[in-house]
Structure formats: C-alpha cells, structure tokens
C-alpha cells in the first residue's frame, strides 16, 4: 500500500507543498542518547554529510583509517538527499588515528571522541528534523490547526514510502524472491523489510479507516512509549485508558514472523481479517526465520515547532522522532507534499531510513 493511498489519521489534506528542492530543505541530526565514554578503542566521528549515502561515507572513513570496511559502524542509515549529522565508530585497537581528519566535498568531520564500544545498528534515541516546505498552498489557520493536532495526538506510525522502493516495487520483488527468484544478498534484507512493513501498514491503514489507530480495542497489545517493551492483552480499565490518552502507552500492530499473533478478541479479529489474503508474504517471512514482533501504531511527534518564513509561502518544521520512525509520515498527515528528489536516484531500493 503506497503512501498516496494510505488514509490520514487526522483528516483530509490541508496543504500542498514541495520538499527537498535543495539538500538544505531536509536536515537531520542524529541523537544517540548517550555520551561517549572518553576511553576505549573505538573512535567516534560525528560527520555532516551532503548528498552522500551512509554506506559510502563509511567506506571512505575505513580507507582513511586504513582498516577494513567492517571496522566502521553506525547506528542507522541516513537519507542521501539531505544534510545530515550522524556518528560513525571506527575500530582502532592501538588507539592511533591518522593525524589529519578526512576531507571530502560531500562530508566533513565535526568532532571526534573515544568510546569503549562500537556503534551497533539501532543504538540511537532518535533524530531531530528541520524541514522546509516550499510553495505551500492551503489556509494557514487550517494548517496550524493540523500541526497542533499532530503535536497533541501524534500521527499513524506508518513505514515510509522509501521502505518500499519506486512505485512500491520492493513488495512485489519480495513475493518473487519468496517464490524462488534469486536475489543477491545486498538486496535481500531490503526486500524482507519491505514485505514485513507492508503487512504492518495494511493493518494500520485499516485501524485508521476505522478510527482506532490511537485507541484501544478489546484484546489489545500495548507498547510502552520510548521502548520496545510490550504487555497485554489485559482487560481495558480506566488506568489503561488514562495512560493511552497521555501517550504513555500505544496500541500495536504486527511485524510478521513465526508464531501466533499475540492480540485477542477484537484486535486479533481485525489483524486476521486484514492479512487473510497475504499468505505469500506471511509464509515467506516465516521461512526467513523471523518471529512475531510488535510495533506501535501511533507515533508521537515531540518538540514540534513551526514558522512561516518571511517573504515566501514557505513553512519550516522542527520536530523529534524516535528511532525507526519516518519524517515523511508527519508530512503525510499534513497533506500532499511532492519530493524534489523522487526519480533522481537510481534503482528501486531505498537509500535510507530516517
């Protein structure tokens, strides 16, 4: 299910705009959520990159350090078509780094610190975004009202379109792969993620259509805000409803794999019905050894601020999202935002996840 067809959780579109006309229109600053230890054999380099993908920058850092690429790690991929700040860890057991920091037109090192461990994938608190929407069309009062809703209620926690490739082709490619088509190892992980994400989005889209994406159904499984810890199902009571309203907990949807779905009652019935015709994807994901997991259906949008830029119909947005969330789904909740870089990159696989 593509982004254009996903239902909006807060109502119809209130604006039309363009984004990423320039790299500077889309800025991301990674928040690791911890401070470097100051000692150890892993050199952390905070890097600003422009128009470069994360994997390529990591290869350049490995070349600079004179080590194998596997000695460089990072917490998450960042968008190529943007200006981003993220941290790389370079394994230097002898604690000796080249005298000069690496330099390139596409990236620069902002600072360095020693740390006791390498950066594993997913080891970040989230990302701070600064987005410029250009040529905004829509009533300002309606747009600001929607932004206030987003700050108060969050948005549906869809996987972003970049997960699914050009025209959603990664999902069809995943089905073909599960049916026996040979796929190289570099692409296989992307296709597995796309298939799993499409099933989650289908369930969430149905919850949005039924008006219960941020409300609890009987038999709900909940996730604690700011963690991956889940609990339930358990009988709905006033305490759970209060915690849900305060965004301390969130209803969840399935990340498909082996095993039984955890929800019961109405929540189980909805997920079973929505995914009944998706046997090829479900079986394929199970054959990959994945196990049933859960993902929050609701995405809180923290620290949301906005301003209209003077002498132009442009709108600047600033907000924070936890790891694994997509800035594009915040824009989707506002309206129709065309991406200036769509179609400029080669291939159908996603460059990055915010």
Which residues, 6+ apart, have CB-to-CB distance to 140 below 8 Å? 308
User: What is the DSSP-derived secondary structure letter of residue 33?
Assistant: S
Residue indicated by tokens 């309606």: 142
**Residue 314 bears catalytic tag:** no
Query: Is the Cβ–Cβ distance between 163 and 350 less than 8 Å?
Result: yes
25, 79, 214, 314: the active-site residue:
79
CA atoms of 218 and 295, how far apart (whole Å) = 18
User: What is the DSSP-derived secondary structure letter of residue 343?
Assistant: T
Neighbours of 189 (CB within 10 A): 12
Query: Is the Cβ–Cβ distance between 90 and 114 less than 8 Å?
Result: no
Neighbours of 242 (CB within 10 A): 11
CA atoms of 105 and 317, how far apart (whole Å) = 27
Query: Is the Cβ–Cβ distance between 113 and 59 less than 8 Å?
Result: no
Nearest Cα neighbor of 110 from 85, 139, 75 is 85
Q: Catalytic positions, please?
A: 79
């Amino acid at each position: 299910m593509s982004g254009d067809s996903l239902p909006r959780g807060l109502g119809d579109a209130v604006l039309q705009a363009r984004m990423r006309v320039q790299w500077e229109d889309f800025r991301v600053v990674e928040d690791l959520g911890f401070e470097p230890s100051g000692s150890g054999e892993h050199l952390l380099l905070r890097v600003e990159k422009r128009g470069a993908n994360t994997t390529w920058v990591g290869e350049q850092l490995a070349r600079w350090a004179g080590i194998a690429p596997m000695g460089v790690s990072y917490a998450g991929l960042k968008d190529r078509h943007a200006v981003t700040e993220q941290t790389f860890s370079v394994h230097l057991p002898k604690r000796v780094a080249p005298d000069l920091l690496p330099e390139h037109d596409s990236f620069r090192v902002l600072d360095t610190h020693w740390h006791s461990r390498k950066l594993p994938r997913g080891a970040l608190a989230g990302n701070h975004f600064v987005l410029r929407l250009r040529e905004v069309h829509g009533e300002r009062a309606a747009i600001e009202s929607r932004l206030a809703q987003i700050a108060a209620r969050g948005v549906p926690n869809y996987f972003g379109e970049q997960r699914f490739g050009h025209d959603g082709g990664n999902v069809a490619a995943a089905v073909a792969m599960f049916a026996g088509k040979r796929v190289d190892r570099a692409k296989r992980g992307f296709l597995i993620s796309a298939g799993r994400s499409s099933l989650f989005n289908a369930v969430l889209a149905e919850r949005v259509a039924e008006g219960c994406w941020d409300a609890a159904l009987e038999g709900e499984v909940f996730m604690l805000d700011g963690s991956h810890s889940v609990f339930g199902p358990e009988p709905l009571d006033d305490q759970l409803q209060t915690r849900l309203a305060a965004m301390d907990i969130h209803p969840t949807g399935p990340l498909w794999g082996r095993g039984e779905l955890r929800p019961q009652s109405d929540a189980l019935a909805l997920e079973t019905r929505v995914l009944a015709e998706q046997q090829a994807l479900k079986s394929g994901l199970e054959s990959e050894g994945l196990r049933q997991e859960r993902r929050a259906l609701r995405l809180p949008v923290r620290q949301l601020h906005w301003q209209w830029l003077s002498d132009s119909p442009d709108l600047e947005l600033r907000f924070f999202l936890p790891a694994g969330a997509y800035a594009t789904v915040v824009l989707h909740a506002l309206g129709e935002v065309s991406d200036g870089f769509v179609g400029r990159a080669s291939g159908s696989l996603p460059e990055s996840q915010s």
